[in-house]
Amino acid sequence: MQFRSLCNIPVGHSAYVKKLHTAGTMHRRLLDMGLTQNARVTCLYQSPAGDPRAYMIRHTVIALRTEDAQTVEIL
Amino acid sequence: MNTTKSSQCAQNEKPVVIALAGNPNVGKSTVFNALTGMHQHTGNWPGKTVGNARGWYTFKNQIYNLVDIPGSYSLVAHSAEEEIARDFICFGEADATIIVCDATCLVRNLNLVLQILEVTDKAVVCVNLMDEAARKHIFVDCNALSEALGVPVVATCAKKNDGLETICKTVYELTHRKDQCAPKTVTYHPVVETALTEIIPLIESATSKINPRWTALMLLQNDDSLLRSMEQYLGFDLKQQEPIASVLASCYSRLEQTFPNAQSLRDDIVAHLFKAAEEICHQAVRYENKAYMQKQLRWDRLLTGKAFGIPTMILLLLFILWLTVSGANYPSALLSDWLFGLEKPLSSALLAIGTPLWLHNALVLGIYRVVAWVVSVMLPPMAIFFPLFTLLEDLGYLPRVAFNLDHCFKKCHACGKQALTMCMGFGCNAVGVTGCRIIDSPRERLLAIITNNFVPCNGRFPTIISIITMFFIVGNAGIISSFLSAAMLTGVILLGILLTIGISKLLSVTLLKGVPSSFTLELPPYRPPQVGKVIVRSIFDRTLFVLGRAVSVAAPAGLIIYIMANVTVGGNTLLAHTAGFLDPFARLFGLDGVILMAFILGFPANEIVMPIAIMAYLSGSTLTEFENLSTLKTLLVDNGWTWLTATCTMLFSLLHFPCSTTLLSIKKETGSIKWTLLGFLLPTICGMLLCFLLASTARFFGLV
């Protein structure tokens, strides 16, 4: 995909959500987790295999797989 | 606390039904336990409450039925579990709802609160984990929050029983007052609001059973699963009714100009919910220390890191099993000495009161002996393993296991949460199967359900442990030998885990084809476990429960074995006939007829497999007095056991058909005979295949 996504931020860095490029239930799930527009997300650490990674979203740590993180466009 | 459970209190009124809702992992079940005193199991991972747990408490002579609803992030359901939660909140007709929130991440919690307040105004918001928030220097102003939300807000720390009395009082006031609260309504996009004002009066005239504004909003959003539940609840399809249908149609076409698709409309609605939540938090919450996460982060980076993540997991498993094995040996011997010592007085007492000899023999040699075996072999490892495992659970380590292993599961096109259901399987496979509801995708859920049995449950541990200690570890005591037993047990479990992964992979490229779906997993903060409560809870809720089940199965099984061993047909006992019949078949797999028969009789509960085999051997042997565990090996060796028999029995114990309870759970969860059958066949075939290969190889090379 052409846009910069959550996958592109290195561990320890933060970004703001611009748009979700998902559909269906995952879309709403990500929204309900708090990934709405302009929400601040920090990548905290990664699992031994490097995927999934853990993100801080609205004071909670949420693990996302690369495939899902790729759908979150950031500013 | 004024929440007595005495039954003499006035029960003149019908019980008030209270729903307990909230995000996952906010201490909902702790609130539930503290209020009801009923020890329902809680765990520090999302999605612990499966199905609706119920309990009750009394306050001012009124009985309150409390329904613990599975945690969910939103009223828009994604998994089977969240559907249960949503349907109860929306259509369960509770008299009041307690919404439990986590004080440390209120914004996301308020998203759910605001959605629930759209459905009902009879709600109390309970801001839990206030102590954790204080430690993190997060301060919540409950008065400001209450004012902003328009419903009562109570600060609690359920772990320490703080604020629970206030909750009871608030619920009491809420259910007794006649006037209504005026909860905060979220104002949506002007286009949405215009549509709402058109639909609301129509719904008001069609039904009074549900909140019209919320219903209108749901109709606009057009969520199929919710509308189905709504239709069921109302008994008619609101959407198809005139004039609602035609007004809706015109609303849709107008909305389309602003929101080109249904998704953009839903996005906008959630965005408004979060905006409202943020505004409220801005007024009511103060964050004084931005760096409060540092300590947890350091631990997480270590426990999920490249270098230490996986090794720590294996070492922890090894350590727990070592504690179980070495800790269980001594009490096991004590228990069996004591129980078998009781046999003589019991026997003479029965004979003294004139019990006929045949009845005496059936009771003592049949039922009592098997039960004594089951108790002495099972109780000690369970009483050690369950509390230890519960401590890990309470600490919050298990979600990290899922996080570490997710990549592996993704490669098998499965879900990382399967690691959590496997952990539940260590306790009891039936619980693990039910626990699979936390997995969103139906395909991945099926994978997890069918493969759950590859993890040995606590009923199978004792069998495996006793075989390891008898046949593979030389010398009875000492740290080294107990460590070796634990290492072997870990090996057996790792084999089970590898097979789980392998079979999941196999299924996902054959019967259950599909791509891995998306995956979100909350990693809650580490929380200091409440050691005392954990021990009490795991012993009473789990250990005694499982033991009770095993004993109730063991008693009749003991009787059957006794009868089979003593009824002779054609010069041979029934037992000899059956074992002889099964023997040639069983030998193929390195077992013998008695072992296979024990596995078949152990179908209701795996715990009784070893005791049954032992009783069967005993009945045919000259050894009638049974002193202690150490004579057991002699008995088995006398009956032809070799290292191969031991290994194959162990393998077959790990890999054979699930117990009846687990199969029933599989049937219930999948709703299909086909998948239940597969759940039965897969492990059985795997076990037979492995045992057959091992036995043939060993025999071919003349190793036995």
Element of type H or E holding B564: helix B544-566
**B337-365 tens-digit pLDDT:** 888 888 889 889 999 998 888 888 888 88
Distance in angstroms (rounded) separating the CA atoms of residues B92 and B72: 16
Last residue of a domain, one of B252, B287, B322: B287
Shared domain for B218 and B349, answered yes or no, is no
- Statement to judge: residues B109 and B256 lie in one domain: no
What is residue A10's predicted lDDT score, i.e. its pLDDT?
94
Task: Name the more confident of B12 and B513.
Answer: B513
Q: Which of B440, B518, B521, B526 should one mutate to test binding to chain A, selecting the residue with the greatest count of A CBs within 10 A?
A: B518
Query: Domain range holding B388?
Result: 309-408+460-659+679-700
**Is B217 in the same domain as B279?**
yes
Q: What's the pLDDT tens digit per position in B148-190? A: 999 999 999 988 888 999 999 999 998 887 777 788 889 999 9
Whether residues B165 and B231 share a domain: the answer is no
The predicted pLDDT at position B328 comes to 81
pLDDT on residue B13: 62
pLDDT band at residue B458 using 50, 70 and 90 as cut-offs: confident
Q: Does B407 touch chain A (CB under 8 A)?
A: yes
CA B614 vs CA B369, B558, B620: distances in Å: 10, 11, 10
The terminus-to-terminus CA distance of chain A in angstroms comes to: 15
Mean pLDDT estimate for chain B = 85
What is the rounded CA–CA span in Å between residue B68 and residue B243? 38
Mapped to the 3 state alphabet, what secondary structure does B241-283 carry? Answer: CCCHHHHHHHHHHHHHHHCCCHHHHHHHHHHHHHHHHHHHHHH
Given a cut of 80, whether residue B311 has pLDDT beyond it is yes
pLDDT of B676 reads 95
**Domains in chain B: how many in total?**
3
What was the pLDDT predicted at B330? 81
Residues B651 and B693 both lie in one domain: yes
Q: Is residue B507 part of a domain?
A: yes
Distance (Å, whole) CA B78 – CA A60: 19
Query: What pLDDT score was predicted for residue B92?
Result: 78
User: Considering the domain boundaries, does residue B7 fall inside one?
Assistant: no
pLDDT digits (tens, 9 = 90+) for B517-556: 778 889 988 888 888 877 877 777 677 777 787 788 888 8
pLDDT given at position A65: 92
A contact test, residue of B300, B403, B438 with most A CBs within 10 A: B403
Give domain status of residue B297, yes or no.
no
- Residue B295: the pLDDT is 81
Residue B669 lies in a domain: no
- Residue B408, chain A, CB below 8 Å: the answer is yes
In tens, the pLDDT along B221-272 reads 888 888 888 888 888 888 888 888 899 999 989 999 988 888 888 888 999 9
> Region B382-400: what's the mean pLDDT?
86
State the average pLDDT over residues B554-567: 84
Question: Does B148 share its domain with B199?
Answer: no
Spatial distance between the Cα atoms of B639 and B345, rounded to a whole number of angstroms: 30
Give CATH superfamily name and number for A6-74: Ferrous iron transport protein A (FeoA) (2.30.30.90)
Residue B74 lies in a domain: yes
* Residues of chain B positioned with their CB less than 8 A from the CB of A56: 293
Q: Is the pLDDT of residue B53 over 50?
A: yes
A40 touches chain B (CB under 8 A): no
Which range among B326-330, B382-386, B422-426 has the greatest average pLDDT? B422-426
Which residue is closest to B113 within chain A, CA to CA?
A32
Looking at beta carbons, which pairs linking B53-56 to residues 24 or more positions away fall under 8 Å? B53/B29, B56/B5, B56/B15
Residues B155, B252 within the same domain: no
Q: B49 and B75 in one domain?
A: yes
* B455 pLDDT tier (thresholds 50, 70, 90): very high
Between the CA of residue B513 and those of B35, B122, B332, B342, B445, what are the distances in Å? 45, 46, 47, 57, 13
Instruction: Establish if B354 belongs to a structural domain.
Output: yes
Instruction: For chain A, give every domain's residue range.
Output: 6-74
For residue B426, being part of any structural domain is answered with no
| Residues B488 and B582 placed together within one structural domain of the fold | yes
Domain boundary (B231, B255, B287) is at B287
Peptide bond before residue B243 is cis, with ω within 30 degrees of 0: yes
B25 shares a domain with B163? yes
Interface test with B, best of A20, A27, A28, A35 (most B CBs within 10 A): A28
Residues B240, B350: one domain? no
B135, pLDDT greater than 60? yes
B495 and B363 housed in the same domain: yes
Residue B148, domain CATH: 3.40.50.300
Of B256, B287, B318, which one is at a domain's C-terminal end?
Answer: B287
Nearest CA to CA, how far is B113 from chain A (Å)? 12
